[in-house]
């Protein structure tokens, strides 16, 4: 089995785990580390990943600490870098995003002075490097969404559609409290075992995407944490029945019992009708009962009654996929305002409250001083770059003048000792020097300049400028948040009254 690379990557890169090769800023390449390459038999360098910065045999990556800088291999075994001839290898390279401009063998060897950094897989690095099958949710959005949905270890979350799995990976890490069935002792409790609970129920109606994502989740060690269902959620809802039972009242086998929902769908309002409480659903069924066609819009809106999810045809009993004991938090992700309006209208009708729309406008700013460090008397980076030659000359004069007045020494403008001592100073400056010349070392001169500049806060010199970086890969949308309060039944009230009786 592959290691739990995304949840516990350890300190070093292990065979079979996913590694992210950081080629340069904003250019990352994922690869699954393999000791053996069936297409590279006879060589013990393992699989080879070819990049525009050279070839990287996996034997040079496996066992290295995450974060290491890895130099491209200078050795050409003759096998790598070759344009993949057979379909299997070409397909694999495509899957791995291998740069289509990757060098051919000769250039690969010539370019072998390049390097990459070896990074552990994280949802963030995966989002920046995953093979895109759809638009994806990027890190600034999903971090905000997960925070607003209060997703934490142990949360059960519904996600639709799964698409390329960017959000899936981030949410899987957020809910992880151990894999289901992997029981641990409850904190502080003696022998009481705690059942692991955190889980993602993910839905996608595009069959190939489901297949690809299943493979990725398996390779990333996340398949126990994420359950993917191939389904059109707008028509079929979210119920997952664990045991086949003809008894529709056998609700204990019904899942997900989710408390957080994320919908990245073109028509989220159609899926919302499957995300109601049982009690809510009966209200809509009642409303629809007045109509001859139970699937026709409910009075007062374009909202059809909830479809009887997973129930045999003709049976209108509705099983809610929501946790009846929890407040449910939802987020929908839609690129246009009309979608937002329809979603909000449906939410209002279904009893969602605290409805709010947010747009995350993530910008990356480059902040710097216009003038950067310079060699001045060997003081790299101590002072700011002069704006002009005149300023440079006057600054040198100023420094030299301070130096002289501080030490009462006679030196040339270049800091060299002036053999002619006082006379030379007099002839240059027109003022007599009162003290004889003594030897001043370069270190002393540098220290003296440092001292004289110390109170000038030279590091603050230069105009502070910032600009928005133009190229940020992001696809942001309008986020609609809402919550569905916990159901409060007569039994709940009775239990409460018993426990905390109201004193007259």
Q: Where along the sequence are the contacts to ligand SAM (CB under 6 A)?
A: 134-137, 160-161, 163-167, 203-206, 209, 232-234, 264-266
Indicate the length of the chain as a whole number. Answer: 504
For ligand SAM, give the closer residue by CB, 267 or 379. 267
Q: How far is the CB of 333 from ligand SAM (least distance, A)?
A: 7
Q: How far is the CB of 145 from ligand SAM (least distance, A)?
A: 10
Q: How far is the CB of 94 from ligand SAM (least distance, A)?
A: 19
Tokens at residue 433, please? 């020097």
Return the H-helix or E-strand segment holding 402. helix 389-407
Write b or e for each residue in 400-423: b if 16 or more Cβ atoms lie within 10 A of its Cβ, otherwise e: beebbeeeebbbeeebeebeebee
At residue 48, the 3 state secondary structure works out as strand
146 CB-near residues (< 8 Å, 6+ apart):
170, 171, 174
Contact criterion met (CB below 8 Å) for 80 and 48: yes
C-alpha span between 241 and 308 (Å, rounded): 13
For ligand SAM, give the closer residue by CB, 160 or 483. 160
C-alpha span between 306 and 101 (Å, rounded): 51
- The number of beta carbons lying within 10 Å of the beta carbon of residue 433 is 18
Residue 308, burial from CB neighbour count under 10 angstroms (0-12, 13-18, 19+): buried
Place of tokens 């999810």: 309
Q: Closest residue to ligand SAM, Cβ-based?
A: 161
For ligand SAM, give the closer residue by CB, 187 or 207. 207
Write b or e for each residue in 216-248: b if 16 or more Cβ atoms lie within 10 A of its Cβ, otherwise e: bbebbbbbbbbbbbebbbbebbbbbbeeeeeeb
Q: How far is the CB of 477 from ligand SAM (least distance, A)?
A: 9
Contact criterion met (CB below 8 Å) for 201 and 239: no
For ligand SAM, give the closer residue by CB, 15 or 151. 151
Q: How far is the CB of 67 from ligand SAM (least distance, A)?
A: 26
For ligand SAM, give the closer residue by CB, 10 or 266. 266
381 CB-near residues (< 8 Å, 6+ apart):
373, 374
Q: How far is the CB of 236 from ligand SAM (least distance, A)?
A: 8
For ligand SAM, give the closer residue by CB, 167 or 176. 167
Tokens at residue 112, please? 């072998």
C-alpha span between 261 and 164 (Å, rounded): 18
Q: How far is the CB of 151 from ligand SAM (least distance, A)?
A: 15
Q: How far is the CB of 322 from ligand SAM (least distance, A)?
A: 18
Q: How far is the CB of 211 from ligand SAM (least distance, A)?
A: 12
For ligand SAM, give the closer residue by CB, 225 or 437. 225
For ligand SAM, give the closer residue by CB, 167 or 352. 167
For ligand SAM, give the closer residue by CB, 70 or 240. 240
Contact criterion met (CB below 8 Å) for 412 and 382: no
């Amino acid at each position: 089995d592959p290691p739990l690379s995304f949840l516990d990557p350890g300190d070093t890169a292990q065979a079979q785990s996913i590694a992210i090769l950081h080629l340069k800023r904003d250019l990352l390449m994922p690869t699954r580390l393999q000791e053996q390459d069936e297409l590279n038999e006879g060589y013990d360098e393992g699989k080879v990943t070819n990049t525009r910065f050279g070839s990287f045999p996996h034997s040079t990556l496996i066992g290295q600490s995450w974060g290491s800088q890895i130099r491209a291999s200078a050795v050409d075994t003759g096998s790598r870098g070759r344009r993949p001839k057979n379909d299997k290898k070409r397909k694999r390279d495509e899957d791995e995003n291998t740069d289509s401009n990757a060098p051919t063998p000769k250039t690969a060897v010539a370019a072998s002075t390049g390097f990459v950094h070896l990074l552990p897989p994280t949802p963030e690095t995966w989002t920046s490097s995953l093979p895109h099958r759809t638009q994806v949710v990027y890190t600034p959005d999903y971090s905000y969404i997960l925070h607003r949905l209060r997703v934490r270890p142990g949360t059960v979350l519904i996600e639709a559609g799964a698409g390329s799995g960017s959000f899936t990976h981030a949410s899987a890490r957020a809910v992880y409290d151990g894999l289901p069935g992997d029981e641990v002792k409850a904190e502080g409790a003696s022998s009481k075992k705690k059942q692991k609970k955190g889980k993602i129920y993910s839905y996608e109606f595009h069959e190939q995407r489901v297949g690809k994502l299943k493979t990725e989740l398996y390779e990333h060690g996340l398949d126990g944490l994420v359950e993917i269902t191939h389904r059109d959620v707008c028509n079929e809802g979210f119920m997952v029945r664990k045991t086949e039972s003809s008894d529709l009242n056998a609700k204990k086998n019904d899942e997900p019992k989710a408390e957080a929902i994320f919908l990245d769908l073109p028509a989220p309002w159609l899926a919302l009708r499957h995300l109601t409480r049982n009690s809510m659903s009966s209200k809509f069924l009642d409303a629809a009962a007045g109509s001859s066609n139970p699937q026709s819009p409910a009075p007062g809106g374009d909202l059809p009654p909830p479809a009887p999810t997973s129930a045999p045809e003709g049976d209108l009993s509705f099983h809610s996929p929501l946790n009846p004991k929890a407040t449910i938090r939802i987020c929908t992700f839609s690129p246009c305002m009309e979608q937002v309006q329809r979603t909000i209208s449906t939410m209002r009708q279904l009893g969602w409250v605290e409805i709010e729309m947010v747009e995350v406008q993530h910008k990356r700013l480059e902040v710097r001083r216009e003038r950067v460090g310079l060699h001045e008397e060997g003081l790299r980076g101590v002072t700011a770059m002069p704006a002009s030659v005149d300023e440079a000359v006057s600054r040198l004069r100023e420094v030299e003048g301070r130096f002289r007045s501080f030490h009462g020494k006679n030196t040339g403008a270049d800091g060299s000792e002036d053999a002619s001592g006082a006379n030379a100073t007099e002839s240059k400056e027109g003022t007599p020097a009162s003290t004889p010349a003594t030897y001043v070392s370069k270190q002393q001169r540098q220290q003296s300049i440092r001292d004289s500049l110390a109170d000038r806060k030279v590091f603050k010199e230069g105009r502070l400028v910032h600009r928005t970086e133009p190229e940020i890969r992001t696809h942001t949308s309008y986020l609609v948040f809402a919550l569905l309060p916990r159901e409060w039944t007569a039994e709940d009230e009775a239990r409460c009254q018993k426990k905390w009786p109201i004193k007259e």
